[in-house]
């Protein structure tokens, strides 16, 4: 069964939003890495918002990918926020303690409003 993940990059002053769509599993590794790499550069935003609104499935491999993004962002002194998580995935962020390191917002507009 093929898996699918798309990541759209939205650039705002000081903030970059990675809008993820589809399934965050092993197949999301490349699109997520490519999208993240595209946010690097001299005018690099200091905050990264991961938008999960259109994510309909995430497994433990996907959690590991998010950990990887968080680790890279922290190494670059960038903060990470998340938006659009379902209640279930919010629980998983709490269980894994990702919510200790990633600020969670109900939707992407809230995340952008606070991070800009």
Partner 1 sequence: MTSNRAEETPQLLAEFTVSSEPGNERVALREVAAAAADCGLTLDQMERLKTAVAEATMNAIEHGNENRAEIPVDITVMRTLDAVAVTITDRGGDRADHVEREIPDLELKLRGEQRPRGWGLFLLQSMVDGMEVSTHGALHTVRLTMRTGGDDGNEGEQHAEQL
Q: Which chain residues interact with partner 1 by CB under 8 A?
A: 1-3, 23, 25-26, 57, 59-61, 63-65, 67-68, 70-71, 74, 86-88, 91-92, 95-98, 100-101
Q: Cβ distance 36 to 16 under 8 Å? A: no
Q: Are strands 5-12 and 15-24 parallel, antiparallel or unpaired?
A: antiparallel
Least separation in angstroms between residue 96's CB and partner 1 is 6
**Residue 91 or 116 having the CB closest to partner 1:** 91
Torsion of CA 40, 89, 29, 49, to 10 degrees: -10
| Residues 6+ positions from 31 with CB-CB distance below 8 Å | 5, 6, 7
**Residue 23 or 51 having the CB closest to partner 1:** 23
Least separation in angstroms between residue 55's CB and partner 1 is 13
**Residue 20 or 70 having the CB closest to partner 1:** 70
Least separation in angstroms between residue 73's CB and partner 1 is 10
């Amino acid at each position: 069964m093929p898996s699918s993940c798309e990541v759209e990059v939205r650039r705002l002053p000081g903030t970059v939003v990675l809008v993820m769509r589809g399934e965050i599993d092993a197949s999301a590794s490349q699109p997520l890495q490519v999208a993240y790499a595209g946010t690097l550069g001299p005018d690099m935003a200091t905050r990264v918002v991961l938008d999960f609104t259109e994510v309909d499935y995430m497994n433990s491999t996907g959690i590991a990918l998010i950990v990887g993004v968080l680790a890279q962002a922290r190494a670059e002194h960038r903060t990470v926020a998340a938006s659009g998580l379902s209640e279930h995935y919010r629980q998983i962020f709490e269980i894994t303690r990702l919510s200790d390191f990633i600020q969670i917002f109900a939707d992407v507009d809230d995340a952008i409003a606070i991070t800009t």
